[in-house]
A and B are shown apart, each in its own frame.
Chain A
Amino acid sequence: MRIDSIKNGIVIDHIPAGKAMTLYHMLGLSAFDCPVAVLQNVNSPKLGKKDIIKIDAAVELDMDLVSFVCPKATVCIIRDEKVIEKKEISLPQTLTDILVCKNPRCITTTEQGIHQIFRLHSPDSGEYRCIYCDTKAK
């Protein structure tokens, strides 16, 4: 199977196999007016199997979200068919309006106009906690 290389855009590589569609939906890529290719179960010497997303346009992505869903992915910025930047990603310190607190006693369940903010509690386990009530993200 062949997918043409992109001229100007972004490649998200080393996505764990099976996670590409989750990331696709969370990033809202279906709303983009440009070619987007999702490759699943691609052979990878490093991961065995991996997914890849290629976006053929110089768009802005929510890198916090990419880092949260796939902390070991690599993000390559392509210009004139060349990789001009390889972004190292790591778990973001805070996540804003990506997760929703499940604690029924949390103020976020009743207060209007409040941002859902989670703070990285443990980088090793990737555990996030609600900044308001300290409840672990699920």
Chain B
Amino acid sequence: MKHLIDILDLSVEEIDELIRVADDIIASPVKYREACKYKTLATLFFEPSTRTRLSFESAMLGLGGNVLGFSDSNSSSAKKGESVADTVAVVSGYADIIAMRHPKEGAPMVASMHSLIPIINAGDGGHFHPTQTLTDLLTIHHEKGRFEGLTVGLCGDLKFGRTVHSLIEAMSRYQGVKFVLISPEELKLPGFVKQTYIKEKGIEYVQSTSLEEVMPELDILYMTRVQRERFFNEEDYLRLKDSYILTPEKLKNAKEDMIVMHPLPRVNEIDTRVDGDPRACYFRQAYYGKFIRMALILKLLEVQV
């Protein structure tokens, strides 16, 4: 039985296979519509997340399966003090696979230690969010046609932005990738992530506090939101939340075929006037998320179509 806690739980070959299956689902959805008939996905969301939860539910329903679960800890026994281990041990008897989001880092790993069924980490605090990374990879595959040799700009909250950490982990495994890290001083990429996935692998990178300066170099601009829930101090959040806002004016110096990605939800870090630019692909990115999650569910449930 396999779980997905960290994107590195999947080899490059396994990711390639997931992308191949996702492509096939996009091309022939009817072929898959009963692939998980009589199977149940439990969505255990101890922290609210409309998009990720709906994407998982839509994925399972698209495979003909069933869905049960809760959408925040107030409507679960966690409020009564039940441990993650106990919750998962119980739910293992009601479902075939679990997608879990939890505000505490490492909660899905604890779940995987006590579960009889596969666990998918749907986000654990500021730590990992591997299915967002799979979504990002499928988006890059569709929009750019390759992973190798791309210059990837990551902008905004690189300190707490778990999608950024996971994407760096995943992209660092491809040849010729270069990272451009754009953030205010206070939200720089943690040293551990930079050391392990960039420096130790000899990957080229640039750090900048100016989005405009580095814009012409980028093949991909990955924007992130400064998340209120990651700050202990409201003052720090208010001071940093508007650090980088992407506008059509800033995009003037960008390559014609650059793509703008964002894990969503956005607040104000991308001006809505950018939405009409063909380079803005964040809504297509959310669309791809459903299909890669369908491919992942099939893989973890070992369903062959």
Contacts and interface: CB of A to CB of B under 8 A. Distances in A.
Interface of A: 103, 105-114, 129-136
Given A112-B83, A113-B83, A133-B125, A107 B192 contact: no
- Main secondary structure, interface of A, reads loop
B104 A106 contact: yes
Contacts of A136: 192
B192 A111 contact: no
A107 B126 contact: no
Nearest to B191: A136
Contact of B125 (A105, A108, A111): A105
Contacts of B85: 111, 113-114
A110 B192 contact: no
A134 B127 CA distance: 8
B242 interface: no
A112 B85 CA distance: 9
B103 interface: yes
Interface of B: 83-85, 102-107, 109-110, 124-127, 192
A131 B104 contact: no
A114 B110 CA distance: 8
Nearest to A112: B83
B5 to A, nearest CB: 10
Contact of B126 (A105, A108, A129, A132): A105
A95 to B, nearest CB: 16
Contacts of A112: 83
8 contacts: A105-B126, A107-B110, A107-B124, A113-B83, A129-B192, A131-B109, A133-B106, A133-B125
B127 A133 contact: yes
Find the residue from B83, B84, B105, B124 having the highest chain A CB count within 10 A. B105
Nearest to A114: B110
Contacts of B107: 107, 111
A111 B109 contact: no
A109 B127 contact: no
B81 to A, nearest CB: 9
B104 A110 contact: yes
Find the residue from A105, A107, A130 having the highest chain B CB count within 10 A. A107
Q: Which 6 A-B pairs have the closest CB atoms?
A: A132-B106, A133-B105, A107-B106, A107-B104, A107-B107, A133-B106
A112 B192 CA distance: 28
B230 to A, nearest CB: 9
Given A130-B106, A131-B106, A132-B106, 14 more contacts: A105-B105, A105-B125, A106-B105, A107-B102, A107-B104, A107-B105, A107-B106, A107-B109, A107-B110, A109-B104, A111-B83, A132-B109, A132-B110, A134-B192
A103 B107 CA distance: 13
Contacts of A110: 104
A106 B125 CA distance: 9
Given A133-B125, A134-B127, A134-B192, A111 B105 contact: no
